[in-house]
Amino acid sequence: MNGAVVNINAPNKDKIMCKCIKNLHKTLQTENLDCEENLLCGGVFDCPLNPTLDKKGGVKWYLEKW
């Protein structure tokens, strides 16, 4: 059984964080890990699931936006 572990500590600035998450996704695709059955991805994403409740200040955006 193959697998991979990914750890990330995303920056908390909106534009930089969004770029970081996009780069992570691109890297997972490049390394052919985006379809890995056993992919454990953890860390600090600094990504509010509900910006209305989870964030104060800054730009309000949702994960589905990108």
| Coil, helix or strand at residue 40 | strand
Range of the domain at 40: 4-65
Half-sphere CA count of 57, side-chain side, radius 13 A:
2
Q: Residue 12 has what pLDDT?
A: 77
Number of domains observed in the structure of the chain: 1
Place of tokens 């534009």: 15
Q: Which residues pair with 44 in a beta bridge?
A: 9
Task: Confirm if 47 and 21 have CB atoms less than 8 A apart.
Answer: yes
Is pLDDT at 66 greater than 50 in this prediction?
no
What is the reported pTM?
A: 0.61
pLDDT, tens digit, 9 for 90 and up, residues 10-39: 887 778 888 888 898 898 889 888 776 788
